Amino acid sequence: MGRIYLFDPAVYYFLMTEQQKRRRARMFFTWFTILAMVGLAYILREQIAETIQNLARVNAWVLLLLIPLHVASYYSQGKLYQGIFRALGERFRTKSMYRLTLELNFINNVFPSGGVSGFSYLPIRLKNEGITTGQATLVQLMRFMTIFSGFQVLLFVGVFMLSLHGDVNNLTILAASSLTTLLLVGTGLLAYIIGHRGRITAFFTFVTKAVNLLIHIVRPKHPETINISKAQNAFMELHDNYMKIRRNLHQLKRPFLFGLCFSLAELASIYVVYIAFGELVNPGAIILAYAIANFAGIISVLPGGIGIYEALMTGVLIAAGVPASVSLPVTIMYRVLNMAIALPQGGWLYYRALHGKPAKIHV
């Protein structure tokens, strides 16, 4: 399964070091990261220009609230990771998990991999800590499942708040109910598959063969890019670690609460931008738009879900009764400022991980 990482630039550096090409790899990946950042800025050039223009019409002092909300968001996400690792018997420092979430956020926003870079990077990043690929992959899956569970609670609250003000319509109800159903079915199906050795082997072996076939069509000289037997061993490890977490389900209460706090901090950040614009909108509309946009952003192959995220969030807000003249500039400003605050920090921490030996992060 190791060779699949060659397609993921976020971890290419680490493989190069294993091949005794440290100097070449560092130079390559430093420039690659710089070019990725420049490319992201180019893609966002119109949004950045519009944000700068809109700064004159907003309350800048209110926007300063984004900084503590940013800290709360990544602190909660770090505690979420910490709690899931604890259920696996691994104890990490809170500060280290906070820094790691910034690194993962940088990777998933800069590199156009539909969120796959984060899954690939985490096991490589924590390899020196004794964390296996199966453990790191399961932690990432459990993170998504935990946050999605919180989404379902938030969606219920959002639709209820919209209905109180009479802003809910059939399209809004359909979007909320469809997403809730999809999250419930998806979470349950994933738990069903990885909860049994036979099911996880059959399902992921089929997926691995399908990916190999797809790669073989593009690159005929590589009939088995992902080694089936190694992949099956990884799936068994994923299953074993999942069963360990199932035996410690009581330890997932805190991660669930921190996952909910993470989402609430993100929602508060969006609402702060509305307040800065002098607009008070129904929080239910923001909850619904945030949930749908984030879900779509995860499956997007574009860096950070650019384009899809903004379009969906604005569309849902319009359907929920927020005028486009308000929702569009707010969404754009929120996205640009959110990246402007988080990405430089994550990029610096990622650079340090590339060019130096990361400090031990176990307690």
- Tens digits of per-residue pLDDT, 265-296? 999 999 999 999 888 888 888 888 888 877 76
| Per-residue pLDDT band at 7 (split at 50, 70, 90) | very low
SS3 92: strand
The rounded distance, in Å, linking the Cα atoms of 271 and 273 is 5
Residues 321 and 167 sit within 8 Å (Cβ to Cβ): yes
d(CA 70, CA 218) in angstroms, rounded, equals 42
Rounded average pLDDT over 128-137: 84
Q: What is the mean pLDDT of the chain?
A: 76
Rounded to two decimals, the pTM is 0.77
The tokens of 104 are what?
Answer: 């993962």
- DSSP 3-state helix, strand, coil percentages of the chain (rounded to 5)? 80, 0, 20
- Can you say whether residue 279 is alpha, beta or left, with left for phi > 0 and alpha for psi between -120 and 50 degrees? beta
Above 90 in pLDDT, residue 171? no
Given this model, what pLDDT does residue 1 score?
42
Average pLDDT over residues 17-39: 56
In Å, how far from its chain's centre is CA 159? 24
Pick the most confident of 20-24, 159-163, 342-346.
Answer: 342-346
Q: Are 267 and 313 in contact (CB under 8 A)?
A: no
In this structure, are residues 2 and 229 in contact, taking their beta carbons and an 8 Å threshold?
Answer: no
- 74 or 360: which leads in pLDDT: 74
Mean pLDDT (whole number) for 319-328: 79
* CA quadruple 108, 297, 339, 101: dihedral, nearest 10: -40
Lowest-confidence segment of 81-90, 114-123, 335-344 by average pLDDT: 114-123
CB 102 within 8 A of CB 130: no
The alpha carbon dihedral of 250, 144, 315, 306 has a sign of positive
pLDDT at site 301:
59
How many residues would you count in the chain?
363
Worst-scoring range by mean pLDDT, 118-122, 214-218, 308-312?
Answer: 214-218
Q: Which of 218 and 148 is assigned the larger pLDDT?
A: 148
Report helix, strand or coil for 3. helix
Residue 293 · residue 304 · CB < 8 Å: no
pLDDT of residue 34: 60
Own/partner pairs, 38-47, CB within 8 angstroms, 24+ separation: 39/303, 40/109, 40/110, 40/303, 40/304, 40/306, 40/339, 43/303, 43/306, 44/306, 44/336, 44/339, 47/310, 47/332, 47/335, 47/336
The per-residue pLDDT for range 215-273, each reduced to its tens digit, is 666 566 655 556 666 666 777 777 787 887 877 777 888 999 999 999 999 999 999 99
Candidates 94, 20, 44; CA nearest to 303 is 44
**pLDDT: is 131 or 33 the higher one?**
131
Of 346, 359, 308, 361, nearest to 103 by C-alpha is 346
The whole-number pLDDT of residue 127 equals: 82
The pLDDT of residue 60 is above 80: yes
